Amino acid sequence: MKFSFTKRGNNKESGYTILEVLVGVSILAVGLLAVAQMQITAIQGSDKSDEGTIALNLAQREMERIINMDYSDAILADNPANNGDLFSTASTDYQDCVDYTGTTVVPGGNCLDDPSLYNLIYNIKNNTTGVPPTPYKEVVLMVQWKRKGRTYTRTLRFVKSLAS
């Protein structure tokens, strides 16, 4: 069976000119490039989402660990320097550099220069409320990571009571 790109009729030779073929191929190429760019953007968004999920899981795991600690544990000591702004990373009560599994890599360190590591930070403020006064600790837990020169943070804020 023989295929031909020519049109038959009236004994005139007709078909697709090289210009028509080039225009068609150009339109196809532009469309394929647009689809490729869309795929790259989707992959980058997926990577960022994965990192955010890891950070949130690290924060939740650390929150559970803090909630299960004894109220008077030394790790839960208050640093009055950051009580005005518990979201501050300049003055922290606790900071570690951890990998995606939560394993401490650099105790007390800042690891934002390494894209495979996360900063685990928390600030604590001792409070009392009610009559008679009931003590509790206000905790702000942050997990930070850097991606393409931009710092991202996931934050959890919770209360640890004397009873918990």
Q: pLDDT tens digits, residue range 31-69?
A: 999 999 999 988 887 888 888 999 999 999 999 999 999
- 6 in a structural domain: no
The CA distances from residue 95 to 1, 59, 90, in Å, are 75, 12, 11
Distance in Å from the first CA to the final CA of the chain? 83
160, β-bridge pairs: 137
Q: What is the mean pLDDT of residues 101-112?
A: 86
For residue 1, is pLDDT > 60? Answer: no
Residue 122 is assigned to a structural domain of this protein: yes
Tell me whether residue 15 is in a domain. no
106 inside domain: yes
* 43 located within any domain: yes
Q: Per the domain annotation, does 82 fall within a domain?
A: yes
Q: Which pLDDT score is estimated for 2?
A: 60
Give yes or no for a contact between 137 and 160, defined as CB atoms under 8 angstroms apart. Answer: yes
* Model confidence, pTM: 0.70
Domain of residue 55, residue span: 22-161
Q: In total, how many domains does the chain have? A: 1
Q: What is the pLDDT of residues 141-164, one digit of tens each?
A: 999 999 888 999 999 999 988 775
H or E segment to which residue 121 belongs: strand 118-129
Strand partners, 118: 98
Residue 142 within a domain? yes
Q: What is the pLDDT of residue 10?
A: 59
Buried b (16+ CB within 10 A) or exposed e, 103-127: eeeeeeebbeeeeebbbbbbbbbee
- Does the pLDDT at position 108 exceed 90? no
Span of 42-51, 57-66, 115-124, 126-135 with lowest mean pLDDT: 126-135
Integer Cα distance of 123 and 89 in angstroms: 9
Pick the residue with more confidence: 90 or 151? 151
Q: What is the mean pLDDT of the chain?
A: 85
Q: What is the pLDDT of residue 53?
A: 92
Assess if residue 109 is contained within a domain: yes
